[in-house]
């Protein structure tokens, strides 16, 4: 039976809570592998190289692009972010469902390269709440918050290219809902061609 993992992209406006949902998924369930991205942005207080991100200089990042080490990369509010290829490939092969927490340009590039990628978009219940969350977490200055809100306007235009919209109203419910969506995908007929062929072959023997 088909054992390969599902590549899942989780995107959402900055401040939507997608990072918290992803952390909850990783903590609660065993079958996920979270891809750690490379970025040229500076670490925030409490962030560690190799945990939240691989923090790179612009030069190092350009080398990764040149050596074809990234599945995709994108520029977001004056910094580069990209998904290292090797980890994703090996985890999918081993049967893990791999989570990429990436913005929309990268998500669409991944979908183009791997059409069976599952695209999930996380949003807070209202845009007023989005602004409050961004201001409340206190990790960005007001100029960066403005840039991120402007960016949200652009990102909203791409939501209809996603497969599922997840409204982050209650965190615990959201984590379970996200898990259920991903696990249901394993049953999709188009993801089970090998199993279907096997069923047909076995039936021929009767």
Q: Is 74 in the site for ligand 5GP (CB under 6 A)?
A: yes
Q: Which of 82, 108, 121, 130 binds ligand 5GP (CB under 6 A)?
A: 82
Q: What is the β-pairing status of strands 97-101 and 32-34?
A: parallel
Q: Is 99 in the site for ligand 5GP (CB under 6 A)?
A: no
Q: Which of 6, 9, 64, 102 binds ligand 5GP (CB under 6 A)?
A: 102
DSSP conformational letter for 194: H
138 among annotated binding-site residues: no
Closer residue to ligand 5GP in complex, CB, 31/69 = 69
CA angle 108, 112, 115 (to 5 degrees): 110
Q: How far apart are CA 53 and CA 41, in angstroms?
A: 9
Whether the CB-CB separation of 188 and 134 falls below 8 Å is answered with no
190 among annotated binding-site residues: no
33 among annotated binding-site residues: no
Shortest Å distance, C-beta 128 to ligand 5GP: 20
Q: Per residue in 138-159, is it b (16+ CB within 10 Å) or e — as a string?
A: eebeeeebebbbebbeebeebe
19 among annotated binding-site residues: yes
- Contacts with ligand 5GP by CB under 6 A lie at 14, 37, 41, 72, 74, 76, 81-83, 101-103, 105-106
The annotation places the binding site at: 12-19
């Amino acid at each position: 039976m088909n054992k390969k993992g599902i590549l899942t992209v989780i995107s959402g406006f900055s401040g939507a809570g997608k990072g918290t949902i992803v952390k909850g998924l990783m903590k609660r369930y065993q079958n996920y592998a979270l891809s750690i991205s490379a970025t040229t942005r500076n670490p925030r207080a409490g962030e560690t190289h190799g945990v939240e991100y691989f923090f790179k200089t612009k030069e190092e990042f350009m080398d990764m692009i040149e050596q074809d080490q990234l599945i995709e990369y994108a520029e977001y509010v004056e910094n580069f972010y990209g998904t290292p290829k090797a980890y994703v490939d090996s985890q999918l092969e081993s049967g893990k469902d791999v989570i990429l927490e990436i913005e929309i340009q990268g998500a669409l590039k991944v979908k183009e390269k791997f059409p069976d990628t599952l695209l999930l978009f996380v949003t807070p219940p209202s845009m007023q709440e989005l602004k409050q969350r961004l201001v409340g977490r206190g990790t960005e200055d007001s100029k960066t918050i403005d840039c991120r809100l402007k960016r949200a306007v652009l990102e909203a235009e791409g939501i209809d290219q996603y497969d599922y919209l997840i409204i982050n109203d209650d965190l615990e419910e959201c984590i379970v809902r996200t898990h259920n969506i991903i696990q249901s995908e394993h049953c999709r007929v188009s993801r089970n061609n090998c199993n279907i062929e096997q069923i047909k072959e076995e039936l021929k023997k009767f």
